Structure 1
């Protein structure tokens, strides 16, 4: 199966039943709140989202590939497990680099809003 089709499927069922076979063992991940290297840590990050975020929904808006670069545009929303369960929403894009073995070696997320703006969504009235 084509890597773009696998990514489409993973976005559709995120964070459940992700296909980690498309990632290199030493994959680099970065977003506005963290950066790390390693598939094990990447799995733990997805497991954290699955366990602690309520009703997560990741919508793939666009995906394309040019040579070794895959770019996506997406929208992510969830309810934070606070007593008032605020619905949080982030739009952004991802850049994924693919090696000769068709494995993702780098996954960098860019958010359309600042981390502070995301935090503020928890307390808007």
Structure 2
């Protein structure tokens, strides 16, 4: 299976059973909330998402590769563990850079909304999941 097919499969079952063997040991991760380096921290973040997000869904809208860069577009949604159970949704895109061994050396997420917009969904959402 090539890396594109592996990523498609990982998105479908996210955050369960991710294929960590496609990532470099010193993978760099960044999104609007976190910034760190290292595969063990990356695994911890995925585990955190699995534990603290309810009814999690990752929809992959598009994936393409140009040389050593892969771009994905996606929507991540979940139900927050709050009494009113708001349904939260973040759409965005990811840039994955590959090293000389073909492993993901950098994973940078960009959101089409602000962190404040995400906070507002938690506080003022009428959508229940």
Please indicate the TM-score interval, normalised by the length of the shorter structure: over 0.9
Counterparts of residues 25-64 of structure 1 (less than 5 Å) = 25-64=25-64
SS at match of 1:64: strand
Q: Distance in 2 between matches of 1:52 and 1:122?
A: 14
Structure 1 match to 2:88: 88
Structure 1 match to 2:72: 72
How big is the shift at 1:24? 0.2
SS at match of 2:36: strand
Q: Distance in 1 between matches of 2:34 and 2:50?
A: 17
Structure 2 match to 1:99: 99
Structure 1 match to 2:120: 120
- Gaps of at least 5 residues in structure 2 are none
Counterparts of residues 4-43 of structure 1 (less than 5 Å) = 4-43=4-43
Question: After the TM superposition, which segments of 4 or more aligned residues of structure 1 sit over 6 Å from their partners?
Answer: none
How big is the shift at 1:99? 1.1
Number of positions where the alignment pairs a residue of Structure 1 with one of Structure 2: 125
What is the TM-score with the length of structure 1 in the denominator?
Answer: 0.98
- RMSD across aligned positions (CA): 0.6
Q: Distance in 1 between matches of 2:123 and 2:82?
A: 11
What do the CA deviations read for 1:16-42 (whole angstroms, capped 9, x no partner)? 110000000000000001100000000
Q: Distance in 2 between matches of 1:90 and 1:52?
A: 16
